[in-house]
Structure 1
């Protein structure tokens, strides 16, 4: 876990990415974030707001499985909750636009 104190997200994001080098961990983050978007769309379409309670389970569940079983580190959320949440969505966007790969050519 980092002992450095980050004062901006710009400083934090490279550290965040270094904690997500395992492609399975990244994939699990991406799946969890995708499911959150799908859940929010479902809730907005059906007006069944009670399902919003599943957002933390989807987001943290997939991410923490990735960290504990594949990345073998503690999620940055424990030390930097806001920056980590921001990092999740920036990494999601970076995966979508191709700036970050989920699979590398050697393990595709």
Structure 2
């Protein structure tokens, strides 16, 4: 199974990536443009999650999506993380959310 991990460069995201690789899954790490994430075992895609047109190519070939996006790096971060939305999302077999107390899945 190929899993897309949003927020792969963060504390929770790196743990999700590590566990997915250990379990034998392929991983697409979706990271923000300012990220310095590098792991030659995964496909890394830089994308702005607020731009739906950037997400469809990032999710190409993925069977599942895990969102491990924490709060925005600002002085006043929002209480929950934004949810990535593709212009025409594929019918994912699975999706999941992982994060800290400052991030939450959508209702």
What's the TM-score once normalised by structure 2's chain length?
A: 0.29
Larger radius of gyration: 1
> Which structure has greater helix proportion?
1
With CA pairs under 8 Å and 6+ residues apart, which has the higher RCO, 1 or 2?
A: 1
TM-score (norm: length of structure 1): 0.29
